[in-house]
Amino acid sequence: MKLLSATLQSINRVVLVFERHPGALTDEDFTFAPHVRVLAFEALETIVVLLTEDFDLTKSHTIFVRGDGSLPVLPDDVFDTMQSSKPLGCVVEQGFRAFRLFAPRAVSVELVLFADLDDTIGTVYDMSRDADGVWEMSLSVDARDRWYAYRIDGPRGEGELFSSSMLVADPYGQAVATRNTWRHEARTLLPGAWSAYDWGDDRPVRIHPRDLVIYEMHVKDMTAHPSSGVEAGFAGTYPGLVRRGCRGGIDHIARLGVNAVELLPCQHFAAIELPYLQRTETGLYNTWNPYERNHWGYMTSYFFAPEPSYATAANATPGEWNDTAGRQVREFKDMVRAFHATGIAVIMDVVYNHTSHYDQQPLKAIDKFYYYRTDGQGDFTGASGCGNDLDTAHPMTRRLVVDSVLHWMREYHVDGFRFDLAAMIDVETLREVCARARELNPDVILIGEPWGGGQYDLRRFSELGMGAWNDQFRNGVKGVHPSHAQGYVFGSWAWNSHEAFGMWVLGSVEAKGGPLLDAAHSVNYLASHDGYTLGDFIRIATGAVGEHQIVEDGMANARLGPAQLRAERLAALMLLTSQGSAMLHAGQEFGRSKVIADRGLHGTTPGLLDHNSYEKDDETNWLDFRHADINGNLVNYTRGLIAVRALLRPLRHASVEAYRFLSADADLASGFVIDEKIEGVPLIAVLVNANPHSSARYHLPEAAWDVLVDAEHASVSPLSTFTGSEITVEAGTGCVLLGRR
């Protein structure tokens, strides 16, 4: 087939791209189904531009080119003319509830109200379309119904996904109930008393990016395990996370000393996946997920609604509705307010690069081609690895992203966002997000995952003034793979470079050969929800557990030996003495291990260390705080390092010129001295000896030195003191010194 693509650039202009010059053509060589008359055309090498009668955008069209094949005509630039600034969703205006849905190519839209979730008929109202593609109507606020949905007819034709019998929830809905099946049948809760909230004197927590110590965590995993001490009914919930007087949750987080939490996705997501190894009525077949769950939440269905499964009123009974009260709205706000009262900022991990895939996701039913990226055949692209990719470059998709971010800031007082696979979000959308969010809160925390869809660009986010997950730090310090690509802290000769050490320490800034404009844009980390935990990476790298070895005794596996503790401490020291934001993965402070729990499920291997536990709502992911007791020395060391970092402002804010990098008499030994008085701090020395076999002797400026961090301990009070200019650091250890001259 020589025809590569067919794109509708305006209502009467089609652009065809051929593999090679199509040769001599006439009007009769082009045929559309349904019929559209060709008025004129122009051929330019491999591109042919057709001028036609106006297309009916409520229908999908196919073009047939004689001798060169056929393709669907995909709307493209024509979508840039389809946009509206009207408030969307259900809003109260002048004593009425106004319902508005942007569906520019729909034939008709009906609003259906329900007094009860199990009502299958409801009360139906026809909606009217305005000139910009918004369907709307108003009803009295006195209506006794509690739930609503939309029935959308069109656009029609091959490749379109609408179903006139299917009801979809409002994509702007602020509380959504879904049925506990993989299709997630949905209803939107009408605004009412449940949405009112008194924030009192709550305000965002304002923290400079260089001062951030972020704790990346999953709401349920933090308190689901009995060892958390959170009682049944609250364990694994929003209020359970901030329950005081418990071993896990907010008390553990606050004791650690971090000043921000980064919550894995909490926007309403499709948690139930397809039945395993069972053919569905749609022909879909799940061969990959015996758990039939998406536990982490990277499958967003509703961008304005909190996830109801973390509410105390959640209902997980198969086939029943998971929420009937909207309690998750109040409980999420209570959670944010509790973190703020403790001085801890709340960052949300948000997914705007793709949506949920198998459920009744409303954007797909509203307009697949407007909201999603498609290939030349009209099929979803899956560069995100999740079956579909949002097209944020279209005006109303961009608006949805911006509106969603602002909604969580206004309604939930969220302090910041980490954007999943942010390289797939177009630059203009990111730029608008940054501008609008900073209008609300100049100190809003904005972090991008700088890859996705085959793209990677740390600098792009730095140029926007955003933070970015710094995988250069992660890969250099820890390594890429525990078996064959270990990093600096394991004594890997591949990383024997003082230049690389300096780049990591100074936030990968341009002045040290990195891509970032400011260390404030570097989010340094060693592990996250993706991949092995740092503890398991270290277990495999040091030979304590084989990559394919079955762990027989979970408690014995949890206990870190001397070699593992050395690597844990050295990695933590580098993380918490480097410039930029620092991020810890939940449980990193006690060497968390993810051992696949024995659920007796076909297709699983209980006992293996898990490097991708996205689907496991069980002890594989739940934090076991008995392990924090077993490795209490590492917890104390991490807590001490965080306190030292907070005490010594130059570690976070000194200029590049204030750093003097040191060599020692051993390979893989590097260090630095900061000589810049900030808040009265005189000299700071950080010395790292990653050589696993040899001690290293360093020469320092002559001074009286307090040792705040040594091979096993970290404290803001001196562990020991010495006067002089020379110190020896043992193999595989490091130290932090405070000097006075």
The predicted pLDDT at position 668 comes to 92
Strand partners, 215: 261, 584
The predicted pLDDT at position 193 comes to 72
Domains of the chain: 3-78 (2.60.40.1130), 81-195 (2.60.40.10), 655-740 (2.60.40.1180)
In 10 A of CB 24, how many CB atoms?
7
| Percentage of the chain modeled with pLDDT above 90 | 86
Contact 278, 268 (CB under 8 A): no
Rounded to 5°, the CA angle 182-188-190 comes to 160
Is pLDDT at 706 greater than 80 in this prediction?
A: yes
Complete DSSP assignment for 296-325: S--SEEEEEEE-GGGSTT----TTSBS-SS
pLDDT band for position 266 (50/70/90)?
A: very high
Nearest to 654 by CA among 578, 705, 725, 736: 578
666-677 residue pLDDT tens: 999 999 999 987
The predicted pLDDT at position 514 comes to 95
Would you tell me the crossing angle of helices 395-412 and 327-341 to the nearest 10 degrees?
Answer: 60
Complete DSSP assignment for 65-76: ETTTEEEEEEE-
User: Which residue pairs from 334-337 have beta carbons closer than 8 angstroms and sit at least 24 positions apart in sequence?
Assistant: 334/238, 334/239, 334/242, 335/238, 335/239, 335/241, 335/242, 336/202, 336/412, 336/413, 336/414, 337/199, 337/200, 337/202, 337/413
- As a whole number, mean pLDDT of residues 130-137 equals 96
The predicted pLDDT at position 192 comes to 81
The predicted pLDDT at position 142 comes to 78
- Record the tokens describing residue 279, joined without a space: 């053919």
- As a whole number, mean pLDDT of residues 230-249 equals 97
Distance of CA 496 to the CA centre of its chain: 33
- Record the tokens describing residue 402, joined without a space: 């911006």
- Record the tokens describing residue 23, joined without a space: 């040769």
pTM of the predicted model as reported, rounded to 2 decimal places? 0.96
Distance of CA 357 to the CA centre of its chain: 17
- As a whole number, mean pLDDT of residues 83-97 equals 94
Rounded distance between C-alpha atoms, residue 139 and residue 125, angstroms: 10
Strand partners, 447: 418, 467
Contact 191, 105 (CB under 8 A): no
Contact 237, 310 (CB under 8 A): yes
Would you tell me the crossing angle of helices 534-541 and 562-576 to the nearest 10 degrees?
Answer: 130
More confident residue, 194 or 354: 354
503-527 residue pLDDT tens: 999 999 999 999 999 999 999 999 9
Question: Which value, to the nearest 10 degrees, does the dihedral of the CA atoms of residues 329, 170, 162, 307 take?
Answer: -10
